[in-house]
Structure 1
Amino acid sequence: MKLVLFYHSLISDWNHGNAHFLRGVVSELLDRGHQVDVYEPESGWSLSNLLAERGEAAIDDFHLAFPELRSVRYDAATLDLDQALENADAVIVHEWNPPEWISSIGECAGRLGCTALFHDTHHRSVTDAATMASIDLSHYDGVLAFGQAVADQYVRHGWAAHAWVWHEAADLRRFKPMPAAEQQKDLVWIGNWGDDERSAELAEFLIEPVGQLALSATVHGVRYPQQALTLLQQAGIEYRGWLPNHRVPETFAKHRCTVHVPRQTYARQLHGIPTIRMFEALACGIPLISAPWQDAELLFRPGTDYLVAADGNEMQRHLRAVLNDSELAQSLVRNGLETIRARHSCAHRVDELLHILTTLRAQPLRRSVGGGLV
């Protein structure tokens, strides 16, 4: 099968978590013998920031870590879509493309008889519904949504005729337990500060507990304002900036536990959607404690695969327990690995994708046009 993917970036994961999942899915598809062409804009925001911060060496490091992965960097003004989609069985277009480009790709796919799917891995369906409603998906067969709550938005509002849940997952080729370092720090958190979408939560569930317990801790990520850096310093937390995602497993191995702090939108509105970091942490066999979120889709076993802290005080108690009770820590590692390996690998998600595509090719669904169906 030939698949053509239009995404923000395969090369760069600078403030771009979707790259993690994309890499795992593409690697799995290639390993199964499928042809996969990945297109990314030549001057994309994530890649431009990565180059500005780390230079071409970061790109070279990506290619060494992922020798099987390549992308076509294009200019939308000059790319020949008919040629790009020639003989393609399916095209998947990520939601972080310009609306007019999404529409153009869908129209071309429809003209060429190519299955077209739209992939949503963000919260804009509730935080910027007007923009998402304006995207023309009339030539798409449906939406791949990274949670039921997002899929429901498309169907409820009539933005698309069909939507399937396609959760993110861990790339088990790279994310797996590694030998623990001889000298481990207590805690690591890997994540971006962003646009104040979880500033209060990071203070309550990460910074203050670390400071109160006087833990040795490390934070990796980008877009930390000076105020955030000051808070980390005051709590005795070492800030180490951007971390290439393929280096995460070895970083986890240098620490004894980690935490999951979802953004406010996922904790309060889009229930059932964890960050991809949660899948990756459990896959690496590091004990995890999470700030509150509702596992509405029963992805995990809260209290068994990981611990849940209702507030900052409970986070302190859980951290103290995990760091001082080796049996508890090992049970979390064992159970978390069991769930990831049984249900949440990129191989599982490729199985789901191929099932959708095979079904669509055998029995094409009606596409939505102007709010109706054809």
Structure 2
Amino acid sequence: MKPISFVFLGLSITSSWGNGHATTYRGLLRRLAQRGHGVLFLERDLSFYAENRDLPSPPYGRTELYRGLDDLRARFGGAVRDADLVVVGSYVPDGAEVGAWVTETARGKTAFYDIDTPVTLKQIERGGAGYLSPALIPRYDLYLSFTGGPTLERLERRHGAKRARPLYCAVDPDEYFPERAPPRWDLGYLGTYSADRQPTLDRLLVAPARRWGRGRFVVAGPQYPADMGWPTNVERTDHVPPGAHRGFYGAQRFTLNVTRRDMIEAGYSPSVRLFEAAACGVPVISDDWPGLDELFEPGKEILVARSPEEVLHLIRELPERERIAIGQRARERVLARHTAAHRAEALERYTRELLDEQDAPERRSARGAGDDDVDVGSRPGEEVRET
């Protein structure tokens, strides 16, 4: 098949500091490039990410930085105009203006990639997000969503999305796989501080740590307030770069998945950390939310906890053989359905569907009006046989 030319405008691919977007884009673009497609990623040159770039030059496709809207239009207008699909991501600086320009400029198809769908919709219902306006949603040909389930229908019926499709986060199995190492921690968590996640983190990790003084715990991620008052048996680190994720997960007996409030309400919103840990064969203890049981089988591939007591029971009482088996079954599920290659295949399929629809009127026009149901190689009344 003919390769597809993609242009992405995303929050960041060069820096994973304080965001989950970079690792998502890295895996997706790497697999698209491996499938033979042309890939250009455009990133706003922000000082915050410039100071924390852990992959300044991704070795797949092409990545370019731009200084602002004028620079974007001047240097990359041709690429946007000529691409088969232009994808604008959530939280892109001045994203609403970028999206308006993209949908006016592109001759191919356009898509919005929402890595924060429930948060976005809350903002849209209050009047709009800085990166997406209510009027802009119907202008995109495709709405790609980190959230599946009923939210997809809501996007189409209530917000006018032409076509809403799931494109969940994923994991790159070349980067995330089991490492054999002596465990340093009984339970760990990796995630940027979020005020609406913190009560769950307190309940499912901090409280168990206070109750089990001999246990070993770790919380990694930036932006936590300095006055958090962690128990002495909770180790803290500000940032774990993607290259060290595998070792970080592998040093935990269990890892914790905590979901933001808006994601819980919407359901069907798995975190990338959930897939990463599972791919490393580490058993995951998660809070509960709609759709979780469609991704992993509770009790067999994932463990669900609602209280400190349940967490302590799992990390202290679960037999070691079962602990290892749960991690292995979760890894098998991820490899079967939730890798970056699966997401690249899905995006390719969505894009070809759009391009086929775009080409169909041109093919009908070429055949001539009224000839839609007649094979051009046959005469009226003559049976058309397939060969």
TM range (shorter): 0.7 to 0.9
How many angstroms apart in 1 are the aligned matches of 2:78 and 2:287?
47
Q: TM-score, normalised by structure 2?
A: 0.83
Give runs of aligned pairs for residues 1-374 of structure 1, distance below 5 A. 1-43=4-46, 48-51=47-50, 55=51, 58-59=52-53, 61-63=54-56, 66-68=58-60, 70-74=62-66, 75-79=68-72, 80=74, 81-97=76-92, 98-109=95-106, 112=107, 114-122=108-116, 123-128=118-123, 129=125, 130-131=127-128, 132-148=132-148, 149-180=150-181, 182=182, 184-194=184-194, 196-214=195-213, 215-228=215-228, 230=229, 232=230, 234-267=231-264, 269-295=265-291, 298-322=294-318, 325-364=319-358
User: Paired residue for 1:371?
Assistant: none
How many angstroms apart in 2 are the aligned matches of 1:225 and 1:94?
28
| Deviation sequence 1:185-227 (CA, Å, 0-9, x none) | 2222111112x11121111011111221221122110110123
How many angstroms apart in 2 are the aligned matches of 1:155 and 1:174?
35
How many angstroms apart in 1 are the aligned matches of 2:161 and 2:60?
34
- Runs of 4+ in structure 1 deviating by more than 3 angstroms, as ranges, are 66-70
The residue identity in structure 2 corresponding to 1:331 is A
1:255 is displaced (CA, Å) by: 2.0
1:93 is displaced (CA, Å) by: 0.8
User: Alignment partner of 1:85: what SS?
Assistant: helix
User: Alignment partner of 1:273: what SS?
Assistant: coil
The aligned length equals 344
Q: Structure 1 unaligned segments of length 5 or more: list them.
A: 367-374
How many angstroms apart in 2 are the aligned matches of 1:144 and 1:315?
35
Deviates more, 1:23-32 or 1:311-320: 311-320
> For residues 22 and 223 of structure 1, do their structure 2 counterparts lie closer, same or farther at Cα, with a shift above 3 Å needed?
same
> For residues 312 and 365 of structure 1, do their structure 2 counterparts lie closer, same or farther at Cα, with a shift above 3 Å needed?
farther
User: Alignment partner of 1:39: what SS?
Assistant: strand
Task: Please tell me the root mean square deviation across aligned C-alpha atoms, in Å.
Answer: 2.1
How many angstroms apart in 2 are the aligned matches of 1:283 and 1:85?
35
Tell whether the 8 Å contact from 2:15 to 2:49 is kept in structure 1 after alignment.
yes
1:183 is displaced (CA, Å) by: 5.5
> For residues 174 and 205 of structure 1, do their structure 2 counterparts lie closer, same or farther at Cα, with a shift above 3 Å needed?
same
1:71 is displaced (CA, Å) by: 1.8
How many angstroms apart in 2 are the aligned matches of 1:168 and 1:245?
15
How many angstroms apart in 2 are the aligned matches of 1:199 and 1:346?
29
Q: Structure 2 unaligned segments of length 5 or more: list them.
A: 361-387
Flag the structure with more relative contact order, 1 or 2, with Cα contacts below 8 A and sequence separation at least 6: 1
Tell whether the 8 Å contact from 2:186 to 2:315 is kept in structure 1 after alignment.
no
Q: Which has the larger radius of gyration?
A: 2
The residue identity in structure 2 corresponding to 1:77 is D
